[in-house]
Amino acid sequence: MKTSMLFASCLLCALSASAHPSDVADGKTDGAKTEASSSNPKEESPRKTSRLRIGGYGEAVYSRNFYSDNVYRYTRPGDYKNDPSHGRFDIPHAVIYLSYDFGKGWKVSTEIEFEHGGSGGSHEQEFEEAGEWEQEVEKGGEVELEQFWIEKSFCDAFNIRAGHIIVPVGLTNAYHEPLNFFTVYRPEGEATIFPCTWHETGVSLWGRAKDWRYEVQMTAGLDAFLFSRDNWIQNGNHSTFEFKVANKYAVAARVDNYSVKGLRMGLSGYYGYSMHNTQPHDQEGAGKPYDKVKGEVLIGAFDFTYNDHNWIVRGNADYGYLGDAAEITRAKRGVSSNNSPYDKTSVGKNAVAIGIEAGYDLFSLWHKLKDKEQKLYVFGRYDYYDSCIPEATQTRYDYTRRQCMTFGFNYHPIEQIVVKGQFAKRFFTHAYNDEPSVSLGIAYMGFFL
């Protein structure tokens, strides 16, 4: 997610809520428990018993949606108000993590993710056939190499990582494993407008000093032709080719602070160009209609996690800006043939996502259950997000502006396992039908070796 070698972050979860996933992958965790059970950044790193680490995380989900799944339910909501409910089984994520410490500060890590239990396909432009686009798909879902990097560690405060890495912009990307959020699926605000989990090929500098952790990255830029009305820049990090186009570049950064016991606060951001970052590279140059269109993407995000006194509270506020949104919309429609991989919908100038959730461990009230280290969190969550805030010259689509209320539970029979249940209701303006749902899920996160 739309997740993470950071199975390092597995350690994150299997290790610590206060540690950044990158720290976990490096064995530089701040604790030895999941976020649901500890957020003490002062704890010592666990003693290494092997240079090889094998781990993973995964989720299985059932949902019943009490609203129409017709593709026209937002354009003609009255026609689908009384449609029957529909159910779904899903494997949102199943991840295998491998890491090996070569010694002398050198380490390699990989993470392979199976999304929705399937495998994807790829687009290909056959120039021998007049540039016709072809696509092969065997099954829904995706199989992705979400992380593959080689790292040299000089000290706790300075490390260099190169390869395919997680872009830790926003709360969900930085802490995306299933024990790091209460909802059955990943929180829908950030998961709607950002790539989730956001992974790119590039170089990262990161480190930790006392109560501060930082990370600075340079990666390939996003592809503006894959932006959309419903998901803003979410699909912009994808490539339908056998390589990632990198005509343009971007920088991302994150800073986390752990000064207050039980509290982590983070700021993250992203800046890069997205136009002229696709194939063929023929929309830039003298006389080209979109030569001066840059498609600047600018994101600012704040997030926090509080874990103490049997409470876990998490929150995020994200704001995104896309320059030349109207021009990008026109350009996309001009190059998008029926079988091209590009998105034809308009894309907004801005997007926003705000979310907060709070859960209390009821089992903390009973000593016998507390002594067994079982936990039962009852939680509530609120999300507000809008994936398409248009320029003045663009059409406004009110259904992209949504609110969602979620209530449920997380039961931890042991530290590495969680059983989740929830009732959620998505609210729109009066013109659209609300969307209630019920979901159940089970997830794990841990190291096997």
pLDDT tens, residue by residue, 160-198: 999 999 999 999 999 999 999 999 999 999 999 999 999
Q: Residue 103 region, left (φ>0) first, then alpha (ψ -120 to 50), else beta?
A: left
Report the percentage of the chain scoring pLDDT > 70. 82
Give mean pLDDT, residues 82-110: 95
Judge residue 65's burial from the number of C-beta atoms within 10 Å of its C-beta, 0-12 exposed, 13-18 middle, 19 or more buried.
middle
Judge residue 365's burial from the number of C-beta atoms within 10 Å of its C-beta, 0-12 exposed, 13-18 middle, 19 or more buried.
exposed
Average pLDDT of the chain to the nearest whole number: 85
Enter the tokens of residue 313: 């509270």
pLDDT tens, residue by residue, 67-82: 999 989 999 999 999 9
Distance CA 381, CA 358 (A): 7
Give mean pLDDT, residues 281-301: 83
In this predicted structure, the answer to whether residue 32 has a pLDDT above a threshold of 70 is no
In this predicted structure, the answer to whether residue 291 has a pLDDT above a threshold of 90 is no
Max CA-CA distance within the chain?
Answer: 75
pLDDT tens, residue by residue, 331-365: 888 775 566 778 888 999 999 999 999 999 999 99
Tokens 């704040």 found at = 302
Distance CA 66, CA 99 (A): 43
Q: How many CB atoms lie within 10 A of CB 413?
A: 13
What pLDDT is stored for residue 342 in this prediction? 82
Mean pLDDT is lowest, of 259-263, 284-288, 317-321, for 284-288
- Residues sharing a CB contact under 8 Å with residue 42, sequence separation 6 or more, in sequence order: 30
Which pTM was predicted? Answer: 0.84
- C-alpha closest to that of 269 among 320, 305, 313: 320
Distance CA 435, CA 428 (A): 9
pLDDT tens, residue by residue, 36-50: 333 333 333 444 557
Model confidence at 372, in pLDDT bands (50, 70, 90)?
Answer: confident
Model confidence at 12, in pLDDT bands (50, 70, 90)?
Answer: very low
What pLDDT is stored for residue 15 in this prediction? 31
Judge residue 309's burial from the number of C-beta atoms within 10 Å of its C-beta, 0-12 exposed, 13-18 middle, 19 or more buried.
exposed
What pLDDT is stored for residue 160 in this prediction? 98
pLDDT tens, residue by residue, 293-321: 999 999 999 999 999 999 999 999 999 99
Give residue 92's Cα distance to chain centre: 12
What pLDDT is stored for residue 202 in this prediction? 96
Mean pLDDT is lowest, of 6-20, 77-91, 125-139, 234-248, for 6-20
Distance CA 439, CA 186 (A): 12
Rounded alpha-carbon distances, angstroms, from residue 64 to 119, 249, 437, 438: 24, 41, 6, 5
